[in-house]
C-alpha cells in the first residue's frame, strides 16, 4: 500500500486517504475494512490552528506514507509521535532508518518543505499521532519570551527545518493515552486538547534546552549526508567515530557537520554514539544471553569497570543488575 500527500493547512488527510483506498468515512473516523486490516484513523480539531490525527491499526500488508515537500511556503508545523513496539522505518531523502518508540527518530518536528517516507510493516500494531499546528497558534500556546534559535525557527515556521527527539517514558505514556482513549467520552475533545498540550510542553521543553549557536538551513542533500553519517556511526559501535573521516565521507566541512548534526539530533556526534552504544548494551544484556563482560568487550570496552560506570549513568542500574531485571 502506498499513500502520497502534500502537507499544507488545507489538506485533509482522512478524506484523501478514504478516497484513495475507497473506504467510507464515518464522520471524523475511518474504520479499516477487513480486507485492509483492523483499526482506525481519526481526525480531531482541537482549537483554531490545532489539529490531531490518531493512527491505530494493524494492516494486512506493508504501507508507505510518503510526504511530498510543499512548493508553497506555509505556516504549518508538523509534529509526529511514533509509539510503535515493532520497528518501522523512516526515510527522509536517504536510506531507511529504524523507527520505534525507543529510536532517535521517535519524534519528528519538521517544516512542510522536506520529503519523508515512513514504512510500516504488515501484521504489526501501529500507534502514532500527528499534531498539525499553525505557527501563530503555537506561539500563543507556548507563550515563551526568550526562545532559543531552535524554538524560534519552529514557531516562525522557517523553511528547511528538521529536528528529531527520542521518546521519553512520560511522552510515550501520553501518546498511548491519546491512541487508546475512549471514543464515547463526552469530554473527549477537552481530554485530547489537554494531552496534546502536555505533549507539546514536554517536546518544547527538550528543544528549548538545545544549545545551537549557528542555525543552518537544512537542504535535501544535507539530510542525505546526515543519514550517511548516522549509518556510519551505528555500523560499528565498538569503534568511536572519527570526525575527520565522517566529514570526508559525507562531503561536509567538519565544523558544519558537527553544527548541523547537533541541530537535527540534539546532541554531539560522540554523545549520540555513546547513547546508541548503551542502548545496544542494554539489548545485548536482556536478549542475547551475553554476560556483562561479553557485552562490554563486544562494544569495545577494554575496562569493564568503565563500562559499568557508563552503563549505570545511562540506565540507572549496574549492568549485572539490569540483566537480571533489577
Does one domain contain both 127 and 194?
Answer: yes
Does one domain contain both 282 and 239?
Answer: no
Does one domain contain both 157 and 28?
Answer: yes
Does one domain contain both 18 and 121?
Answer: yes
CATH number of the domain bearing residue 301: 1.10.10.60
Report yes or no on 133 lying in a domain.
yes
Which of residues 58 and 68 earns the better pLDDT score? 58
CB-CB neighbours of 239 under 10 Å: 11
pTM given for the model: 0.70
Does one domain contain both 114 and 248?
Answer: no
Position 93 scores a pLDDT of 47
185, with CB counted inside 10 A (0-12, 13-18, 19+), is exposed
Report yes or no on 89 lying in a domain.
yes
CB-CB neighbours of 97 under 10 Å: 19
Report yes or no on 215 lying in a domain.
no
- Which secondary-structure segment (H or E) carries 77? strand 76-82
Does one domain contain both 100 and 245?
Answer: no
pLDDT winner (highest mean) among 13-22, 213-222, 278-287 = 13-22
- DSSP codes of every residue in 187-242: THHHHHHHHHHHHHHHHHHHHHT---SS-----HHHHHHHHHHHHHHHH-TTS---
Q: What is the pLDDT of residues 293-313, one digit of tens each?
A: 999 999 999 898 999 999 998
Q: Any idea which residue has 480531531 for its cell? A: 44
Give the domain extent around 257: 220-266
Does one domain contain both 254 and 310?
Answer: no
Report yes or no on 309 lying in a domain.
yes
Report yes or no on 214 lying in a domain.
no
Does 13 have pLDDT greater than 70? yes
Does one domain contain both 23 and 134?
Answer: yes
14, with CB counted inside 10 A (0-12, 13-18, 19+), is middle
Which of residues 210 and 171 earns the better pLDDT score? 171
Amino acid at each position: 500500500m502506498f499513500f502520497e500527500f502534500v502537507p499544507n493547512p488545507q489538506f485533509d488527510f482522512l478524506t484523501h486517504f478514504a478516497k484513495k483506498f475507497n473506504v467510507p468515512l464515518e464522520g471524523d473516523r475511518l474504520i479499516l475494512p477487513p480486507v485492509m486490516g483492523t483499526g482506525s484513523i481519526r481526525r480531531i480539531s482541537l482549537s483554531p490552528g490545532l489539529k490531531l490525527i490518531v493512527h491505530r491499526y494493524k494492516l494486512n500488508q506493508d504501507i508507505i506514507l510518503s510526504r511530498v515537500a510543499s512548493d508553497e511556503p506555509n505556516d504549518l508545523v508538523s509534529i509526529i509521535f511514533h509509539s510503535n513496539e515493532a520497528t518501522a522505518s523512516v526515510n527522509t531523502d536517504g536510506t531507511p532508518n529504524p523507527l520505534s518508540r525507543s529510536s532517535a527518530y521517535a519524534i519528528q518536528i519538521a517544516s512542510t518543505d522536506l520529503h519523508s517516507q515512513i514504512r510500516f510493516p504488515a501484521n504489526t500494531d501501529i500507534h502514532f499521532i500527528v499534531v498539525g499546528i499553525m505557527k501563530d497558534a503555537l506561539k500563543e500556546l507556548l507563550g515563551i519570551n526568550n526562545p532559543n534559535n531552535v524554538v524560534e525557527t519552529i514557531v516562525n515556521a522557517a523553511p528547511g527545518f528538521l529536528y528529531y527527539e527520542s521518546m521519553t517514558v512520560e511522552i510515550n505514556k501520553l501518546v498511548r493515552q491519546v491512541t487508546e482513549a475512549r471514543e464515547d467520552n463526552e469530554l473527549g475533545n477537552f481530554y485530547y486538547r489537554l494531552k496534546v498540550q502536555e505533549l507539546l510542553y514536554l517536546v518544547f521543553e527538550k528543544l528549548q534546552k538545545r544549545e545551537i549557536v549557528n542555525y543552518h538551513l537544512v537542504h535535501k542533500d544535507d539530510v542525505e549526508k546526515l543519514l550517511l553519517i548516522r549509518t556510519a556511526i551505528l555500523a560499528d559501535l565498538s569503534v568511536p567515530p572519527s570526525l575527520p573521516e565522517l566529514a570526508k565521507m559525507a562531503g561536509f566541512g567538519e565544523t558544519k557537520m558537527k553544527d548541523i548534526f547537533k541541530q537535527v539530533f540534539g546532541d554531539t556526534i560522540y554523545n549520540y554514539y555513546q547513547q546508541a552504544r548503551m542502548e545496544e548494551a542494554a539489548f545485548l544484556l536482556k536478549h542475547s544471553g551475553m554476560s556483562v563482560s561479553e557485552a562490554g568487550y563486544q562494544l569495545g570496552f577494554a575496562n569493564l569497570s568503565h563500562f559499568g560506570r557508563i552503563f549505570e549513568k545511562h540506565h540507572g542500574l549496574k549492568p549485572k543488575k539490569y540483566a537480571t531485571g533489577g
